[in-house]
Structure 1
Amino acid sequence: MTTERSRTGELAEFSAALNFTLDPFQRAACAALEDGHGVLVCAPTGAGKTVVGEFAVHLALAAGGKCFYTTPIKALSNQKFADLTERHGRANVGLLTGDQSINPDASVVVMTTEVLRNMLYASSDALRGLSYVVMDEVHYLADRFRGAVWEEVILHLPAEVRLVSLSATVSNAEEFGAWMETVRGDTAVVVDETRPVPLWQHVMVGRRMFDLFDSDSSEQKVLVDEDLVRYIKQREAADRMNGWSGGSRGRGGPRRDFRPLPRPEVLAQLDQEGLLPAITFIFSRAGCDGALAQCLRSRLDLSRPEDYDEVDAVIEKHTGDLPKGDLEVLGYWDWRAALHRGLAAHHAGMLPAFRHTVEELFVRGLVRAVFATETLALGINMPARTVVLERLVKFNGESHAELTPGEYTQLTGRAGRRGIDVEGHAVVLWQPEVDTSAVAGLASTRTYPLRSSFKPGYNMSINLVDRMGAGESRALLERSFAQFQADRSVVGLVRGIERNDAQLRKLRGQLGDAEGGFLEYISLRERIKQRERQLEQQTRSDRRGAAVTALTALRRGDVVAIPSGRRAGLAVILEPDATPGDPRPLVLTEDKWAGRVSVADFPVPAETLGHMRLPRRVDHRTARTRRDLASALRDTGISPPGRQRGGRRSGAADDRELATLRRSLRSHPAHGRPDREQMSRIGERYSRLLRETEAMRQKVAATTNSLARTFDRILGLLQERGFVADGEVTADGRRLARIYAETDLLVAECLRQGLWRGLGPAELAGVVSTLVYESRQEGGYLGASGPTEPIRRAVAATIGVWSQLRTDEARHKLTPTREPDLGFVAGVYKWARGDGLAESLLASGDQGAPLSAGDFVRWCRQVIDLLDQINTTADDVEVAATAAKAVRAIRRGVVAVDAA
């Protein structure tokens, strides 16, 4: 990887200026960089990878060149800008994050990766003299929403630029390095798996702390601590004797009799063991806020009175510019009281000024316990002595899923502060559903492969065509890491197909290829099975359709019988639901349970057995209401019908095609053979192998050149709509090339068709918000279409264009553009016209659930970002000027404070 010749010069000078000795992996990476190689460094969180990036900065300055230092998020860019400014002086360091532009012509510029991508597409003059690019947290290219930006930069950077890629530990570093070598040339791969601060794993059961691993564990054999296993068994046995059942008694949740140790007591125990400061990861914003509130209600105080003045100074530095009238709305006083007690929450829903205050206080040791979501685990410099995990399950956007080993390692990687702690600690809080063997598996697994999320979109495709034409664009896409990984997977599939083909030929010989042979008989049997499956699916579909129709027809007060399952018995409908395809009415059962039921609870369609008068308002959350209504339901005298089995006549009984196939099977010569069963087993193996091989062939076909095929489909749609003509990008296409948004093509179409002409600044902000805002609830929010008639007209026209676009995308087999979301229209409109924060928050969000201040600010800034793009790309002078006015109207108060 590197030569052993003696080195003089820059590395020696750089090392001499440090107040610590370089670790072997840091020295190897820096030496490779000085020798002229590109470098990929993979090392654990907190190991000091950024030193290699700082050496690239040193080399650029020493040679009179330029270095761009890129990070995935603005907070990291701000942090790095502060670090490099302190080291190299304000004159030499700049910052570009979209929100901020400080000294952009400096020799060293820190920026988000999107900014560099946009520079490359625009062939910016700022790229002249660029000699090094540092890509911090390059493993972020696995992010399914923003990961493609990393690969775009890597593929487009000029060949003479040396790339320094810094990544968390991944198990396929060599694969990633091999790809980097193919697209960037000579690249040294430096991997270090040693944590700078050793990590001890624990499980906390009640107030007792146990080591997770037995002291006899080795890399070959992981053993769970015997004392831990024994104590859990004893506790479970004692709890059973005290009366709670060993099974799960909630709706799929933990045992309802189990009460975890309150958070204040957990923190007090950690404090007693000398394990603070600690970060407790809770996978929901509300959970973090609730945990902090629970601590505030207790007597827990982790602060030192002599630190109050310093805490107040940091608070004032970050929040002093907040409008005083908004402090109550922002929950400022409770937040400040918590900081005075050494406690805080940290999540994306917080006001940025609050979040940055917490970060600084924690790093200074003035806050000793933080409840955080997993976003804290990404890059932000907030290490702790201890990391606590309350649960090992989190919501991934679609369902609740168990943590992966990579996620577990990313979270616990925050434990152990280099230069401060001798060791770090990871503590899992035990609950009845926690399997200590599974925890040990998470903590000991070292396989975290990096998977590309790269795929072409409209903006990327139009920029590629504009820069290099369609042919070269396809070639570039085929050089992506995504295609590199796909092609490697194809090699294994092709070998599998070859092995299967050889085996199929051998089995065919045993079965006989001739007409009337056993192969033909097996084919008949397969066709019968396939037809039976089709008919069974049709029967299930018909039955589900009938159940959906019946549930949709139910009205408030209808009494039905839930035929089976945990909720079997009478129920009254409290809230009907006519959601197409998946109605989930709210019911109350005679057993006092209230909740939503679905088609899965009704193997036979629901039937109205009677009706019950309900009060105008029913608060099913209160035990008294549930008890009174359940009693009234039992008093109606309605009886559930006899137990329904859900029996049905299968479509197979009357199907002519199936009957014909069965007759052909019985009359086939092979049907009467004495070795029929033996040959059938061979035939089943043949059929199974044939299906498996066909599936592999389809996977190969779908994988080979898959990105280029997607690009061609996108190009076809762009040509249809006039953004590309005769292989050249049109004027409309060049506008699209400058719009960087998830809904880029929809924005470009709305501008081209003049749909937003005539709107005022606040109205334009409201309409534009529909293209960036995403409701936290599934399916988006399509409430009232806007507070003014011009907004309603513009929103309706925008949705009309989106609908046409979705139809075209379906025809071209492209991923559909997401639907406009109206959940932020009223809120940003009110804010942009000058209303107060309280009124604007109340008008924002999902169906009566107002946004948090942090979310409000975040979405305002995203609206500002898109309005800025409209200002610079719109041909219509009036629309461009209105967009600029809207930006100024939104950028005030809390939105303007501590922008990062």
Structure 2
Amino acid sequence: MDVSSAPFQLDLNQVFPFELDAFQREAIAALDAGKSVVVCAPTGSGKTLIGEYAIIRALKQNEELAAQGGRLCPRRVFYTTPLKALSNQKLRDFRDRFGEQNIGLLTGDVSINRDAPILVMTTEIFRNMLYGTPIGEVGTSLEGVDAVVLDECHYMNDRQRGTVWEESIIYCPREVQLVALSATVANSDQLTDWIDRVHGPTTLIYSDFRPVPLEFYFGSPKGLFPLLNEEKTAVNPRFKKKRGKQPRVRQEPTKISFLVSQLQQRDMLPAIYFIFSRRGCDQAVQEIETLSLVNEAEQAQLKTFIDLFLERNPEAVRASQIEPLYRGIAAHHAGILPAWKVLVEELFQRGLIKVVFATETLAAGINMPARTTVISSLSKRTDRGHRLLTASEFLQMAGRAGRRGMDDRGYVVTVQTPFEGATEAAYLATQGADPLVSQFTPSYGMVLNLLQTHSEEEARDLIERSFGQYLSTLYLRPQQLAIADLEAEVEQQQAQIAHVDAEILNSYEKLHDRIKEERRILKYLQQQAQELQVKDMHAALPFAIAGSILSLKGKYVPVAKPLPAVLVAKAQGGGQLPYFVCLGQDNRWRVVTANDVVGLHAELPRMAQVDHLTVPPELPPKPGQVRSGSEESAAIAQQIPPIPAPTEQAPEVVEQQAKVRELDLELQRHPARQFGNPGHILKRRKQVERLLEELGDRRAKLERHTHRYWQEFVNLMEILRRFGCLDGVVPTELGQIAAAIRGDNELWLGLAMASGELDDLDPHELVTVCAALTTEVSRPDVWTSYQVSARVESALEGLRSTRRQLFKLQHQYQVALPVWMEYDFIPLVEQWALGVEWPELCANTSLDEGDIVRVLRRTLDFMSQLPHVPYLPSSLRDNARRAIALIDRFPVNEGIE
């Protein structure tokens, strides 16, 4: 069935027995018109209803098909989420709403009712389904699918997993409607336009309306106060700093127990209290050990639920938090066992937990409605350093406040810390959302899977349809305009010299350059001749006698042209040459050095008149001393003859002067003169050359940015060829092994599985090696009292040379994909596979329970792939199946019924 040509519509009044908001009606109308939609609205505004409409529509269609006895393919909807926990929660919610028989689940290591009409899955699983089908075609995995809901679509911003959303949208067949549900982002129009281009007709449904408005408060040791001014545009005036220079005072932190008491007194519970560390969440639970937040009836209900859980799941108990849970207080973070987190979520949804201390991951769509959210800090540590929260991070957490149909308003409380106050809080509270950016990054798996079903040209077309490519095109627009301007200017300049014969102009330029060089040589020869002349003169100066005619110009005779003077006397100098006392033609006495004498004119007769002159007694014999002459000296000064012009030049100087004159004459007669002023024409041509150089540079930069993603793809292809995974552009058997694997570095995992190093390992050893290759723990100071077995260590050692080679090639091609080989925690995996009980395992490591489960689940997810990977030895596949059975037990298994 083609949804776009024959949309199936429902009577909304029958489907939803309540009044829909305008944006919800608009989105449903777009779906009924056969379009995809991007629904961008605040958290808690009712976006999920639009995804549910797609589900209801498919189920109603199936009812009609069944009633008609038709043989048409049943209609299906895929509902994707970014997190397994969120998928599990949607499964529970949809079972209650639509019936257990209609809902299935796929999360990689869990498959429940996978042929159901409504299939919940992680977005990554959906992307993986599409890999096996040529782009644009409806393969068996998508047969009968009317719509795919992309919940929490703003996860495209996620640095590690954002690529999955882009691939899902690009690969999804045009016949399938996309329902992208996103929190508010600054560039929702760009996201919609991109989906419209790469997938099909798409409508943006945007709403900034919150059914439950938010009020912002600031918590300090003095109490809770409104954060913003009356207009909600800036910080409350009471928090503004007084004028004048104030000493910087470290702000007192706000105690958690005091703040929670304030919330209880003001009827602002239940609350989600965000703290950006697991330890901080656990410590907060202990800090309010004397406070009870529930009444007797609620306490009785809590006791019933908690005691039943403890009886059924003794190994999932978090002992330090049982007692606080009875008082309505809990923690929720990745270090806690999933089963315990599910209990906390269910109790919170029932209104029995009044405050939950949670890390930021709780803001990612899990349904835990609260009246208040508390944001304990406005900055956090990341793997890129400590930084202020982004506006989107702040809004995502703030948006959890306010329960639709229960609260008339939601409360957002920011807390004073030693480093942050009301000013920073007000800044974030009044900012708009951040834009979505692309995290698109090609991977080995992407390369291999695309090349199995597409040509290189088709793969390139697909890569260049990414959201990152789309944004690059927009952001590079100024560069493209600059290039267009340069091209126009080049064309204009070239038109003005188009009439000039290029060969004649080149000839003129060569001649011009030659004359320039010959003039440089002439200048050098003249300077050389002058230096020789000065050298000869300085050699003769010590023998000069009184009455000799000199030319003066230099440091102590700063004149425009040499001054004629007569030598009257000599004085003791500071070096080998004496100082000279001279009378100048200007009737001034001077004491000069040999460097100030630029000419000794032996051809002029000696002036005997100076024999009767007396040097003025007030003239010190120091260089630079100057005194005016007398009437007697004036008569002699007037008789100093002018300096004669040089009569002879060095032969090489004369020869070079003749050459320059001859070339000058040739230049004047050059045929280039017919085109106008050759000098101006050459300048214009040089300008064109500079413009062309700039144009080429800009084009090269634009090309690099425009095709950046394809170049990354090509680099990965080259590495794959070097390891024998590609024969040209066709995946080899080794390449098909890597293509069938999902992980952070499919090439590394494929090489390891095909290496032979793992073939003879026992199941518990195999799963341990696989854990080392597929997982990493970023927690500091990880320790475990267990030791890894020798056969595991030997297998990992056998893979080291391959790992080094891959590292080297990735560095060469600037590929930043992890090549895991972790040792610190893998003994835990081996011991768990050998049957060690959960409490004992946890007692022998520094890792939190949630971390151990994450490692084991990720390993389990990888192990479940191996039986389906082609060309692996049957023994390896069989051992993978046995290893799965060894580790897939509570609390590692999902525990979803």
TM-score normalized with structure 2 length: 0.71
In structure 2, what residue type is equivalent to 1:67?
Answer: V
Contact between 2:776 and 2:820, CA under 8 Å: does it hold in 1?
Answer: no
Deviation at 1:340, TM superposition (A): 0.6
In the alignment, the residues of structure 2 paired with residue 787 and residue 8 of structure 1 have an alpha-carbon distance, to the nearest angstrom, of 59
User: Residue in 2 aligned with 1:830?
Assistant: 831
User: Residue in 2 aligned with 1:717?
Assistant: 719
Contact between 2:149 and 2:180, CA under 8 Å: does it hold in 1?
Answer: yes
In the alignment, the residues of structure 1 paired with residue 309 and residue 477 of structure 2 have an alpha-carbon distance, to the nearest angstrom, of 55
User: Residue in 2 aligned with 1:314?
Assistant: 305
User: Residue in 1 aligned with 2:175?
Assistant: 160
1:773–1:786: structure 2 CA closer, same or farther, 3 Å change rule?
farther
User: Residue in 2 aligned with 1:864?
Assistant: 860
1:816–1:76: structure 2 CA closer, same or farther, 3 Å change rule?
closer
Q: Equivalent residues in 2 for 1:287-436 (5 A)?
A: 287-296=280-289, 299-315=290-306, 318=309, 320-322=311-313, 324=314, 326=315, 331-332=318-319, 334-436=320-422
Q: Does 1:116 align with 2:103?
A: no
Give the counterpart of 1:889 among 883, 886, 891: 886
Give the counterpart of 1:179 among 185, 194, 213: 194
Q: Which has the larger radius of gyration?
A: 2
Unaligned runs of 5+ in 1: 1-6, 248-254, 507-512, 516-688, 845-849
Give the counterpart of 1:102 among 112, 116, 127: 112
Contact between 2:239 and 2:423, CA under 8 Å: does it hold in 1?
Answer: no
The SS at the match of 1:10 is coil
The SS at the match of 2:37 is strand
Q: Equivalent residues in 2 for 1:649-728 (5 A)?
A: 699-728=701-730
Give the counterpart of 1:47 among 41, 45, 48: 45
1:275–1:379: structure 2 CA closer, same or farther, 3 Å change rule?
same
Deviation at 1:319, TM superposition (A): 5.1
The SS at the match of 1:310 is helix
Give the counterpart of 1:139 among 127, 150, 154: 154
Deviations 1:411-470 (A, max 9, x none): 100111111110011111123532433322211111410111112100011000011121
In the alignment, the residues of structure 1 paired with residue 163 and residue 236 of structure 2 have an alpha-carbon distance, to the nearest angstrom, of 43
In structure 1, what residue type is equivalent to 2:471?
Answer: Q
Contact between 2:395 and 2:433, CA under 8 Å: does it hold in 1?
Answer: no
The SS at the match of 1:472 is helix
Contact between 1:41 and 1:189, CA under 8 Å: does it hold in 2?
Answer: yes
1:703–1:316: structure 2 CA closer, same or farther, 3 Å change rule?
farther
User: Residue in 1 aligned with 2:528?
Assistant: none
Deviations 1:877-900 (A, max 9, x none): 111111111111112232236369
Unaligned runs of 5+ in 2: 1-5, 63-74, 134-138, 493-508, 514-690
Deviation at 1:201, TM superposition (A): 1.0
Deviations 1:693-731 (A, max 9, x none): 999767534311111111111112212222221422222
User: Residue in 2 aligned with 1:752?
Assistant: 754
Deviation at 1:391, TM superposition (A): 1.1
Deviations 1:532-588 (A, max 9, x none): xxxxxxxxxxxxxxxxxxxxxxxxxxxxxxxxxxxxxxxxxxxxxxxxxxxxxxxxx
Deviation at 1:72, TM superposition (A): 1.0
1:492–1:417: structure 2 CA closer, same or farther, 3 Å change rule?
same
User: Residue in 1 aligned with 2:819?
Assistant: 818
The SS at the match of 2:773 is coil
User: Residue in 1 aligned with 2:96?
Assistant: 86
Give the counterpart of 2:266 among 269, 273, 291: 273
The SS at the match of 1:400 is strand
User: Residue in 2 aligned with 1:191?
Assistant: 206
In the alignment, the residues of structure 2 paired with residue 92 and residue 451 of structure 1 have an alpha-carbon distance, to the nearest angstrom, of 36
In the alignment, the residues of structure 2 paired with residue 491 and residue 137 of structure 1 have an alpha-carbon distance, to the nearest angstrom, of 30
Deviation at 1:485, TM superposition (A): 0.8
In structure 1, what residue type is equivalent to 2:797?
Answer: A
Deviations 1:156-179 (A, max 9, x none): 112211111111111111111111
The SS at the match of 2:454 is helix
Deviation at 1:814, TM superposition (A): 2.1
Contact between 2:212 and 2:403, CA under 8 Å: does it hold in 1?
Answer: yes
User: Residue in 1 aligned with 2:549?
Assistant: none
1:192–1:693: structure 2 CA closer, same or farther, 3 Å change rule?
farther
In the alignment, the residues of structure 1 paired with residue 749 and residue 491 of structure 2 have an alpha-carbon distance, to the nearest angstrom, of 56
In the alignment, the residues of structure 1 paired with residue 116 and residue 777 of structure 2 have an alpha-carbon distance, to the nearest angstrom, of 40
Cα RMSD (Å): 3.1
1:783–1:891: structure 2 CA closer, same or farther, 3 Å change rule?
closer
Contact between 1:211 and 1:228, CA under 8 Å: does it hold in 2?
Answer: no
User: Residue in 1 aligned with 2:642?
Assistant: none
Size of the aligned set, in residue pairs, is 680
Identity fraction in percent = 36
In the alignment, the residues of structure 2 paired with residue 400 and residue 763 of structure 1 have an alpha-carbon distance, to the nearest angstrom, of 40
Deviations 1:710-759 (A, max 9, x none): 11111122122222214222222222111001131111101111111221
In the alignment, the residues of structure 2 paired with residue 38 and residue 96 of structure 1 have an alpha-carbon distance, to the nearest angstrom, of 23
Deviation at 1:101, TM superposition (A): 1.7
In the alignment, the residues of structure 1 paired with residue 36 and residue 878 of structure 2 have an alpha-carbon distance, to the nearest angstrom, of 45
1:461–1:292: structure 2 CA closer, same or farther, 3 Å change rule?
same
In structure 1, what residue type is equivalent to 2:44?
Answer: G
Give the counterpart of 1:228 among 234, 239, 244: 239
Deviations 1:179-206 (A, max 9, x none): 1111111111110011121111111221
Q: Does 1:878 align with 2:875?
A: yes
Give the counterpart of 1:151 among 160, 166, 170: 166
Q: Equivalent residues in 2 for 1:623-638 (5 A)?
A: none
Contact between 1:487 and 1:703, CA under 8 Å: does it hold in 2?
Answer: no
Contact between 2:783 and 2:847, CA under 8 Å: does it hold in 1?
Answer: no
In the alignment, the residues of structure 1 paired with residue 369 and residue 490 of structure 2 have an alpha-carbon distance, to the nearest angstrom, of 57
Contact between 2:220 and 2:253, CA under 8 Å: does it hold in 1?
Answer: no
User: Residue in 2 aligned with 1:624?
Assistant: none
In the alignment, the residues of structure 1 paired with residue 782 and residue 278 of structure 2 have an alpha-carbon distance, to the nearest angstrom, of 20
365-374 vs 53-62, which moves further: 53-62
1:216–1:146: structure 2 CA closer, same or farther, 3 Å change rule?
closer
Deviations 1:781-803 (A, max 9, x none): 89999521101111112333211
Contact between 1:11 and 1:31, CA under 8 Å: does it hold in 2?
Answer: no
In the alignment, the residues of structure 1 paired with residue 376 and residue 144 of structure 2 have an alpha-carbon distance, to the nearest angstrom, of 50
1:78–1:782: structure 2 CA closer, same or farther, 3 Å change rule?
closer
In the alignment, the residues of structure 1 paired with residue 210 and residue 452 of structure 2 have an alpha-carbon distance, to the nearest angstrom, of 46
Give the counterpart of 2:778 among 773, 776, 779: 776
In structure 2, what residue type is equivalent to 1:215?
Answer: E
Give the counterpart of 1:206 among 212, 221, 227: 221
Contact between 2:860 and 2:884, CA under 8 Å: does it hold in 1?
Answer: yes
In structure 2, what residue type is equivalent to 1:73?
Answer: L
In the alignment, the residues of structure 2 paired with residue 839 and residue 698 of structure 1 have an alpha-carbon distance, to the nearest angstrom, of 61
In structure 2, what residue type is equivalent to 1:866?
Answer: F
In the alignment, the residues of structure 2 paired with residue 9 and residue 130 of structure 1 have an alpha-carbon distance, to the nearest angstrom, of 13
TM-score normalized with structure 1 length: 0.71
1:500–1:392: structure 2 CA closer, same or farther, 3 Å change rule?
farther
Contact between 1:352 and 1:898, CA under 8 Å: does it hold in 2?
Answer: no
Contact between 1:391 and 1:428, CA under 8 Å: does it hold in 2?
Answer: yes
